[in-house]
Structure 1
Amino acid sequence: MNLQSFLWEYGAKVPGYDVRVVNEREARAAAGILGMLGMIVIFVGIGFNHTIVARVYLAFLFLDFTARVISPNYAPSLLLGKFFVQNQKPEYVSGLQKRFAWTMGWFISLPMVWWFVIHWDITFYKVLICVLCLLFTFLESAFSICVGCKFYKVFTKLDPVHCPGGICEVRTKEPIQMFNPVQKVIAALTMIGLVVGTYLFIANSEPKTFFGEFLHEAVLTDAQLQKKKDEAYEREAERAFADDDEDW
C-alpha cells in the first residue's frame, strides 16, 4: 500500500457508491460502547476511589482511535459494534469524513495518555476534555450526530457526501419532522429544566465525594466560593467557642 492509497482509499468499496464507505450502524454502536464504558469508569472511580480503571480505559481509547485512523477493519470497539449490529441493514457513509472525525478523536485522546495514564494529574479542565469526549460519543450513538464530520468541510474544503441520516443531501423536512408551537414550547422547557435543574443540584447539594466536591466548586463563582469558605470558618469558630464553654 502506497501513501496515496493509505490517505484516500479508506473504507470498503460497495457497489452503487462512488466513494469508499463505512457502516454507520457499526460506528454508532461503537460510540455507544465507548460512552457506556466511560460512564462505568466514572462511577467505579468515584465509588471505589481507584485510578487504574480510568487509566486502562483511556489507554484503550487511544489505541482504539489509533486503529480506527489506520483502518476501520481492526479497531476493537468497531468490531464489538459490528458484532451487535451484524444482522441489521448497513447504513453506508463516506469513509474519509469519518476518518477525519476519528483523527480528531485521536488528537484529543493523545494528551490524555500523558495526563492520566502515564502521569496522573487531574484538573478541572482536563476532566472537562474527557467529558467532552463522552458527549461526542453520546451525540453519535444517540442522534447519529458526528461532530468531527461537521469540521471536515471546514478543514479540507471538500464537500462531504453520504453523511449519517442523509444530512449532506439537499432536502426538505417531512411533516413528521416539523415542530408545532406547543411541541416547541415543551421541548424548550424540557431542555431548560434539565440544564437549570442539573446546575442547581450541583451548586446547592452538599458533596459527599471528591468528584462531587470537584463539580461543586467548578460551577460556583469566586464570590460564591469565598462565601462558602467564610461560612465554614464561622461554623468552625462557633463550634470552637461552644467547646470552650463546655470545658468551663
Structure 2
Amino acid sequence: MKELFAYGEKVAGYDVRVLNEREARAAAGILFVGAFLGLTNGVMLGTAVFSEYFVSFFALDFTIRVIKPKYAPSLLIGRFFVQNQTPEYVGAEQKRFAWLLGMIIAWPMFYYLVIDFQPNPIKVLVCLICMALLFLEAAFSICLGCKIFSVIRREKASHCPGGVCEMRIKEPVQRFSLLQKFIVVVTFTGMIYGGYAYMTKLPDRTFLVKKLKVMMMSEAELKKKEQQEYQKQLDEFDKEE
C-alpha cells in the first residue's frame, strides 16, 4: 500500500524518490507547442477554440502529475520520445511542488476560458508566463517552481534539474568574458526592442496588435479615434445614399 501511494520512483543510489527530468523536459516542450498554437490562433484569427481544448488538457494533465505522475499523458508522450536516452533523475518532491503551482494557475484559466469565457490582457499575460516557464524547462532545464521550493523549505533540496543544488564552482566553459557579456546584453536589448517594435509599429493586421495599440492610447487619442471611426461611418453612409 505504501508503494501505491508513494510519489516518484525508487532508484538505487538515490536517497530520495526521483523522476526522470528528460521526460519532464520533453513534456514541457510538447505543452509549449500546444500553448503557442493556441495563442497564435487567438492573435491571428481571434478565436479561442484551440486554447479551450488545450487549457482543458493542461489542467487535467497537471492534476494527474500532482497525484500520480506515471499516468500523466504529457509525461507518457515525453517518455515515448526519450525512452532510448539515459535517464536524468531529479528529486520528485520539488517537481511535485512546481507542478502544483502549474495546477493552481491552470484551473482558474480553465474556468475563464472554457466555462465562462472572459478574455482580457491579464489572462493573455498569464498564458505568456506559463509559456515562458514551459520554455525555460524544455530548453534550459530551469524549473522555477523547484527554485521556489528550495527557498521556502528549511531543508535544502537535492538532485535538482541540471545539478544546480550540488554545483559549487563553475567550469571555465561556463564563465563569460567581458566581450561575451557585451554580446549577450546587445542581443537581449535587440530582442526586446524588436518585440516592442513588432507590437506597436506593425499595421493593424492582427487582433492582438489592435488591442495593444488601443491600450497604449491616451484619452485624447481614444476620442480622436472614435471621432474618426464615426466620421468614416458617416462617409460610407453618404456614399450608399
TM-score by length of 2: 0.89
Structure 1: how far apart are the matches of 2:17 and 2:145? 18
* Equivalent position of 1:211 in the other structure: 208
Q: Does 1:229 align with 2:226?
A: no
Structure 1: how far apart are the matches of 2:219 and 2:203? 16
Counterpart amino acid of 1:194?
M
Give the paired residue count.
Answer: 239
Root-mean-square deviation (CA), in Å?
Answer: 2.6
Structure 2: how far apart are the matches of 1:65 and 1:237? 48
Deviation at 1:78, TM superposition (A): 0.4
Structure 1: how far apart are the matches of 2:88 and 2:121? 38
Structure 2 unmatched ranges of 5 or more: none
Q: 1:164 aligns with which of 142, 161, 165?
A: 161
Deviation at 1:240, TM superposition (A): 9.0
Structure 2: how far apart are the matches of 1:241 and 1:100? 58
Structure 1 unmatched ranges of 5 or more: none
* Equivalent position of 1:70 in the other structure: 67
Counterpart amino acid of 1:121?
Q
Q: Does 1:86 align with 2:76?
A: no
1:7-56 CA-to-partner distances (Å, cap 9, x unmatched) read xx321111110111000000000000000011111223334433221111
3-state SS in 2 of match to 1:22: strand
Counterpart amino acid of 1:229?
L
Structure 1 residues 230 and 26: alpha-carbon distance in aligned structure 2, compared to 1, 3 A threshold: same
* Equivalent position of 2:50 in the other structure: 53
Q: 1:117 aligns with which of 111, 114, 119?
A: 114
* Equivalent position of 2:147 in the other structure: 150
Q: Does 1:140 align with 2:137?
A: yes
Moved more, 204-213 or 121-130: 204-213
Contact 1:26-1:85 at 8 Å conserved across structures = yes
* Equivalent position of 1:128 in the other structure: 125
Structure 1 residues 175 and 217: alpha-carbon distance in aligned structure 2, compared to 1, 3 A threshold: farther
Counterpart amino acid of 1:172?
I
Structure 1 residues 90 and 242: alpha-carbon distance in aligned structure 2, compared to 1, 3 A threshold: closer
Moved more, 229-238 or 104-113: 229-238
Contact 2:214-2:222 at 8 Å conserved across structures = no
3-state SS in 2 of match to 1:59: helix
Moved more, 233-242 or 16-25: 233-242
Q: 2:99 aligns with which of 102, 125, 128?
A: 102
TM-score by length of 1: 0.87
Q: 1:44 aligns with which of 38, 41, 44?
A: 41
Contact 1:152-1:158 at 8 Å conserved across structures = no
Structure 2: how far apart are the matches of 1:124 and 1:45? 12
Contact 2:200-2:209 at 8 Å conserved across structures = no
Moved over 4 A (4+): 233-243
Contact 1:92-1:162 at 8 Å conserved across structures = yes
Structure 2: how far apart are the matches of 1:70 and 1:237? 56
Which is bigger in relative contact order (C-alpha 8 A, separation at least 6)? 2
* Equivalent position of 2:197 in the other structure: 200
